[in-house]
Amino acid sequence: MRALVATPELIEQELPTPKLRPHDLLVRVEAVAVNPVDTKVRAGVAPGGPPRLLGWDGCGVVEALGEALVKDGSRFQPGDAVIFAGDVSRPGCQAEFVAVDERLCGRRPRGLEAAAAAALPLTALTAWESLFERLGLDPEGADAGSTLLILGGAGGVGSIAIQLARRAGLVVIASASRPESQAWCQQMGATHVVDHSHPLGPQLAALGFATVEAIANFSDTDAYWPVMAELIRPQGAIVAIVGNRAPLDLNLLKAKSASFHWEFMFTRSQFGTADLAAQGRILDRIATLVEAEALRSTLTRRLSPINAANLALAHDQLRSGRTLGKIALEGWGAPEGSDGA
Ligand SMILES: NC(=O)c1ccc[n+]([C@@H]2O[C@H](COP(=O)([O-])OP(=O)(O)OC[C@H]3O[C@@H](n4cnc5c(N)ncnc54)[C@H](OP(=O)(O)O)[C@@H]3O)[C@@H](O)[C@H]2O)c1
């Protein structure tokens, strides 16, 4: 099969079609989205070392089922369209085929083109788990009226989190530093937008919020640690998704009895947790919300075909740290070096 691998240069290579584990689906990949995890894993690939097949965000069509699924039944059958983020410890999906555990897959929302569907799974899972599992907010509105500060509102994770939080009835204060990213946060439904290039406390105070009940930090954990401690309401909760570079002073949260939570979208797949299938269920709920037009794909840039040059463009854009929403690549086109005839 055709595959794009990091050497760390991005190149196209012919690789064997993946072998299935018992619970895997073999998926023929139609579109892939890029994420900062791709550029981070790529940065760790040593020149001359083993190349790495990247990409943990995509959509495609089920081609075959692993033996446990054939024997015991599966939620999906060959021909079904699925979305998935998968498992970062396994080869990624920037290839014509990927093997992915069925329990991590959701159905592709009907009526959504491939690139827009591929833009959903990784960020939707991260946002959903952050808000509704780690922070313990209610997705269906039992916490309506609670205040949530989202740091990094315009990026991939932020822009789907704003939508999910607003749908849950929360008062969402999203941060963005440029006119276009601020406008994007408004489009995603943010109640208020603040600028993270200026001190946040006075901006929140001007909006009438001395503190907030919850904070979702989708950016730099170290940089925002003291300000999060200042802005969190007593007994409030904070979630972060980016590993810290230096030790964090947990004591800053003690007087307020504030809680801190990590969210790592690959925890369930990495440890094979008993509730692994929760990710498939979350993705099915996301599909239902998209079909009901209660949630929209955050795709802002679609590149075609899926090839090394377009993937390099997408990585450059992501590394700028200024992406709005998501970038995805769609369709395989003619193999490199062919005249397409
Ligand atoms: N733990 C997990 O499971 C998990 C999952 C997904 C992502 N992540 C990590 O979370 C981070 C965000 O991911 P993403 O996909 O949302 O990234 P992204 O799409 O590349 O985020 C881009 C956005 O970041 C904003 N930004 C830049 N500097 C900022 C700052 N100082 N404060 C707040 N926002 C800032 C920019 O907004 P402005 O242009 O307005 O400044 C831009 O819109 C990455 O480090 C990624 O690796 C972790």
Mean predicted confidence (pLDDT) in 74-78: 97
Of ligand 1's listed atoms, the one at least distance from the Cα of 129 is 3
Token code pair at residue 40: 């981070």
Report residue 337's pLDDT band, with 50, 70 and 90 as the boundaries: low
* 123, 238, 241, 261: residue to mutate for ligand 1 pocket, most atoms within 8 A of CB: 241
Please give the domain boundaries of the chain with CATH numbers for all domains.
2-119+298-330 (3.90.180.10), 123-262 (3.40.50.720)
Question: Which pairs with CB-CB distance under 8 Å and at least 24 residues apart come from 307-310?
Answer: 307/4, 307/12, 307/333, 307/336, 308/4, 308/10, 308/11, 308/12, 308/336
43 has pLDDT over 80: yes
Q: Which candidate, 339, 330, 340, places its Cα nearest to that of 116?
A: 330
Closest C-alpha residue for ligand 1 atom 35: 152
For 3-28, the pLDDT digits (tens) are 999 999 999 999 999 999 999 999 99
- Which of 59, 33, 55 shows the shortest CA–CA distance to 114? 59
**Ligand 1 mean position to 241 CA, how many Å?**
9
The tens digit of pLDDT for each residue in 326-336 reads 999 999 988 76
- Residue 288, pLDDT > 70, answer yes
The residue whose C-alpha atom lies closest to atom 2 belonging to ligand 1 is 264
> Which of ligand 1's atoms lies nearest the C-alpha of 324?
43
Measured between alpha carbons, how far is residue 90 from residues 93, 272, 293 in Å? 9, 13, 33
Query: Which run of H or of E encompasses 329?
Result: strand 326-330
Flag whether pLDDT at 339 surpasses 70: no
pLDDT of amino acid 340? 45
Structure tokens at 85: 């983020």
Per the listing, tokens 């990091």 go with 6
320 to 313, 316, 324: CA distances (angstroms): 11, 7, 11
pLDDT bucket at 338, cuts 50 / 70 / 90? low
The pLDDT value recorded for residue 333 is 86
> Quick check: pTM over 0.75?
yes
With contact defined as beta carbons under 8 Å apart, do 211 and 233 qualify?
Answer: yes
> Which residue owns the Cα nearest ligand 1 atom 4?
241
pLDDT score, position 291: 98
Q: What pLDDT score was predicted for residue 335?
A: 74
The number of the ligand 1 atom at minimal distance from the alpha carbon of 318 is: 20
CA 9 to chain centroid, in Å, comes to 24
- pLDDT tens string 296-324: 999 999 999 999 999 999 999 999 999 99
pLDDT at 151: 98
As a whole number, mean pLDDT of residues 127-150 equals 98
Mean pLDDT of 278-285: 98
Ligand 1 pocket residues where CB is under 6 Å: 35-37, 123, 126, 151-152, 154-158, 175-178, 181, 196, 218-220, 241-242, 263-265, 318, 321-324
**Residue 253 CA: distances (Å) to CA of 202, 226, 229, 233:** 20, 9, 6, 10
Question: Taking 50 as the threshold, does the pLDDT of residue 341 lie above it?
Answer: no
